[in-house]
Amino acid sequence: MSRVALRLLKPIFSVVSAAVLLGTPAWSAGLQAPGPIGDLTIGGTGAALGTMQKLADEFKKTHPHVTVKVLPSLGSGGGIKALMAGHLTVSVSSRPITAAEKVHGIAAMELARTPFVFATGLKTPATNVTLDELAALYSGKSLHWSDGTQVRPVLRPLVDVDTQVVKDISPALAQALAEAHQRPGKNIAITDTDSADELENIPGAFGTSTLSLIMSENRRLKVLAVGGVNPTIQNASSGKYPYLKSIYLVMPANPSPVAQSFVKFIDSSSGRTVLSQMGNIPVLNTK
């Protein structure tokens, strides 16, 4: 190395050496900080975890000093409870937080909307359903698919967001869903992940999911058109396909620097691209 190069590097060596001797990080002695350092633990609704994993993977590329972990599905309520207990940095929810939850010092913002879909296994012959046909499938008036396979509805709990979305579509569907919950031997999937698993593995199963979950997790599921309209991002954005599910980002009211950096990334062009590619319409706007 030339004497000129050594002379140029000497001030940097001096700063680093001083930092080492004093037991402090080099950036506190005048060098540029490497960005936030810490853990980012994400959990909550299974409807969003696949997308959150994709976002976390992309976030890590520019934040190498952050350790990221996306937990298995806790459900919306379970994720919020885990956040309030300090076990999560960020939670994702399919519903807004309640007034009772807000007093625990947490806040929520709408992250994205994704088409709410009716789905079946790949071998089920159906590709399109009308609202009347959906009601018949839920109520038990239609017991078999066109190939003779038995129709097996995968229900969600009565208090679940998915149940409420279906009920809001039409009075006939609300009545059919109520009848489905009264039938002996009904099958209720507790979480979005449970529902997707059963839709994949039970012959003739049909139920609800989201385009985002199916795309981000590469699920072996067939998304049904409703009334001849496919639940694509284009159709959802234009209002042609009107059935959507919101995803909320939940954090402490005073989030950590790591959480703040993650939110800033999600709202960047890179983050919005990931959201769109995974079947979401970005909504978050921190500017």
Q: pLDDT grade, residue 34 (50/70/90)?
A: low
* pLDDT tens per residue, range 83-111: 999 999 999 999 999 999 999 999 999 99
- Greater model confidence, 208 or 35: 208
Topology alike, domains 11-112+247-282 and 114-244: yes
Measured CA to CA, the distance from residue 280 to residue 287 in angstroms comes to 20
Task: Write out the H or E segment, with its range, that includes residue 225.
Answer: strand 225-226
Q: Virtual CA dihedral for 158, 160, 165, 167, nearest 10 degrees?
A: 0
Q: Which residue has the tokens 């979950």?
A: 213
According to CATH, the topology of domain 11-112+247-282 is: D-Maltodextrin-Binding Protein; domain 2 (3.40.190)
Q: pLDDT grade, residue 286 (50/70/90)?
A: confident
Domain 114-244 in CATH 3.30.420.40? The answer is: no
> What integer is the mean pLDDT of 187-207?
96
Phi, psi of 142 (to 5 degrees): -110, 110
Measured CA to CA, the distance from residue 110 to residue 133 in angstroms comes to 32
* pLDDT tens per residue, range 122-162: 999 999 999 999 999 999 999 999 999 999 999 999 999 99
pTM for the model: 0.85
CA distances from 4 to 19, 134, 191, 192 (A): 24, 78, 65, 63
Residue 113 is given by DSSP the state E
Measured CA to CA, the distance from residue 199 to residue 205 in angstroms comes to 5
Task: Write out the H or E segment, with its range, that includes residue 249.
Answer: strand 244-252
List the chain domain ranges: 11-112+247-282, 114-244
The beta-strand segments (E) located in 22-105 are 38-44, 66-70, 90-93
Q: Is 194 helix (H, G, I), strand (E, B) or coil?
A: helix
Which is nearest to 247 in space by CA: 91, 107, 124, 117?
91
